[in-house]
Structures are given as C-alpha cells and as structure tokens.
Amino acid sequence: MAGSNSTQDSQFSLHLSNARNIPYSPDDKRVIFSDLHMGNGTRRDDFSENSELFYSALSEYYLPRGYDLILNGDVEEFHKFTWRQIFHAWKQIYALFDVFARDGKLIKTVGNHDARLIMDLRDHHPYTVDTVIRMTGLDYPLLIYHGHQVSALYERFNDISRIGVRYFAMPLGIMNYSVAHDSQKRHFIEKRIYEYSRRERIVSVIGHTHRPLFESLTKAETLRFRIEYLLVRYRNASHGQKVKIEEEIRRHRAELVEWRSRKRRPDLQSGIYEEDDVPVPCMFNSGTVIGKRGMTCLELTRGRIRLMHWFDDRFHKEHTDHDNRRQRTLPGGHIHRLELRQATLEYVMDSLRLLS
Ligand SMILES: [Mn+2]
C-alpha cells in the first residue's frame, strides 16, 4: 500500500506476518459473526434491536453444541461510545463471551470501529485481539479478517475529504457515517478483496460492508447462474430428470422475481468480477448482526461452509416459513435459524485450483 500517484497502484494486499495460524479440522465447529457495533444500550445503539436474538443464538445454540465463536471485527462501536458505556450496557453478552474464552473457544479480530483495542485500549480488554486469522491445513489458506484494510486504500485514491468526516464528525455523533451505506465504497472494497484473493489463491472471509456474500456472489447472481446451469443440463436430460429440472428452474425463477420485487436500496454495482468471467468462490462475507431483518453469520462445520440467517418472528415476520426443511427453531418457538447457502470446502478449494 505504498503511496503513489498512480491509480493503477491501487492493489490490495494483507500484511500476513502477524497472522495467527489456526489448524483446520473437519470435526471443528466454528461460527463467524461480524459487525455487532455494540454501544450504550440506548436508541442510539445499533446493537440494541438484535441483542436478544444474538444472545439466544449463542447461549441456546452455538454454546451447547461446542462451537468456537469467531467475532470478526466491529464488535464494539468506539466511534460513538466509550469502553465503560459499552461494557456496562452489555454485561450479559460479555459474560457469554467469557464462557467461550474460558474454554479457548473465542477468537476476536479487530475492525475499524474497534481499532482502539489494538491501540490505546490494548491493556483494558480481557480477550486476545488479532488482525488476521489464517486457517491452515486446507489446499489453500482461508483468511478471516474484517476487511477495512482496503478502506485506507479507498480514501487515499478516491476521496481524501472523507477522512475529515471520519475523524472529526464521528466522535461527536454528528452523522452516522458507515461503509455499509456507501455503495460505491462497498463495491470498491469487495472488488479489491476478490481480486486479491483470486490472485493469491486464498479464501477471504470478511465483514465490514454488512452485505452477506457467499462464493463471492449475491443471492440474485447465484440464482441467475443456477438457472443457466440447469438450462444447459435440461436438453440432454432424461424425461424423468427433465420434470425435476423444470420444477427447479421455475422455483429459482420465482425466487429471483420475489427477491427483485422487494423494495431494496438500488444496488446497480453488485457485480464484483468481470462479467465475461466465471466467478471464483474465494470471498465470503458474514454480513452483520445488526440487520433490519435479523442477523447473518457463516458456519464452518463438517467440511462445509454455510451462510445462515437468524431471525425472531415477533420482529421479522416476513420470513417465517415453518415448512422449510432448512429452517430450525429454538425451543421458545420464536427464534429461527435458516440456512441460506452451503458448499463443501473441497468444492471451494477445487474451484480455486481450477479457476484462478
Ligand atoms: Mn467495519
């Protein structure tokens, strides 16, 4: 990231000398959450709304099943709140983190909103904080990092004035500046991380943009690719297969139409790879805990990576679907865990070998 006047120099690379190595084993169970933005517990605190959902998922699902908990950055919101305020407001959550930490099952990385944890607050934090986790023992390394490392590059090349907003407006709470609400910046970040991961043959698991990504793709992109793939298979399929493929195409098509019809923020720059190329599944994003429709996370279990959506049907009614096989409900009956996508790590590694 050496300073340069040339915009062609805007390549991204991570400093891996300080990465912490964690061996991969198919028997391990790990869950990755990012972007909690924990604050003081008031209405100004973005974490408040989904805090119960988060607490229930950890205490009733992941903890009893022996998962490692990976918190991948922006856990605390120090741009608006003090350490004392955050810790006081969320004692119960920290008590739960303590339980994971006691068994050596808590892994925490740093983001841009909690960067003070590796700076002035270094001695006041009870947990080890890393910048990059490198999972070893797979064909190619799987790196877990927040992803803000690209932001500095963006500021440098595109909009130097933003730095003023970041460092002067934020601490006073004048504006709620966040990368998640800036689609141009989000696109820049995803594209740089995608290109870096593909070039270096690594799998990047990030957060930061608050947008869940699976196999480097958004949901609409995945559905489109799957429909195209099924259309190719359709022609040479047997009669029995054709009926099944037809059904599948119709279902995906309906899902795509439904997904598009929802009133979403326009996101025209969603493609992060060259359109005439096959996307490589080298980038995954856990999304965020503070989503309006619940929270998303990535699970690494039994040789698979899965994108999960957690929601509480008392607040996020639109998603309730009791007939869905991919949905599990916690004993209280209100909190649901829905599998959005899944792939084997072998598939991910093979793709990296053959496509990058
Ligand atoms: Mn961030």
For 117-129, what is each residue's pLDDT tens digit? Answer: 988 888 878 899 9
d(CA 336, CA 240): 35
Cα 146 to ligand 1 centroid, rounded to whole Å: 7
pLDDT value at position 216? 77
Share of the chain above pLDDT 90, in %: 52
Tokens 């190719």 belong to which residue?
A: 232
> Does residue 190 or residue 106 have the better pLDDT?
106
Task: Supply the pTM of this predicted model.
Answer: 0.81
Cα 155 to ligand 1 centroid, rounded to whole Å: 14
Point out the least confidently predicted range of 13-17, 21-25, 141-145: 13-17
Report whether 48 contacts 41 (CB < 8 A): yes
Any idea which fold 19-217+270-355 has? Purple Acid Phosphatase; chain A, domain 2 (3.60.21)
Cα 231 to ligand 1 centroid, rounded to whole Å: 39
The yes-or-no verdict on residue 145 having pLDDT over 80 is: yes
Cα 239 to ligand 1 centroid, rounded to whole Å: 50
pLDDT value at position 223? 79
pLDDT value at position 9? 52
- 274 pLDDT band (50/70/90 cuts)? low
Q: What six digits make up the tokens of 210?
A: 């608050």
Cα 139 to ligand 1 centroid, rounded to whole Å: 29
d(CA 51, CA 356): 40
What is the arithmetic mean of pLDDT over 231-248? 85
pLDDT value at position 267? 43
pLDDT value at position 270? 53
Helices (H), the chain: 51-56, 83-89, 91-102, 151-158, 161-164, 183-200, 219-235, 239-261, 345-355
pLDDT value at position 48? 96
Report whether 45 contacts 39 (CB < 8 A): yes
Cα 346 to ligand 1 centroid, rounded to whole Å: 29
d(CA 76, CA 79): 9
Cα 151 to ligand 1 centroid, rounded to whole Å: 9
Cα 110 to ligand 1 centroid, rounded to whole Å: 9
Query: Ion ligand 1 — residues with CB under 5 Å?
Result: 74, 111-112, 148, 208
Cα 287 to ligand 1 centroid, rounded to whole Å: 11
Return the SS3 of 240. helix
Q: What six digits make up the tokens of 318?
A: 């639109």
> Does residue 173 or residue 99 have the better pLDDT?
99
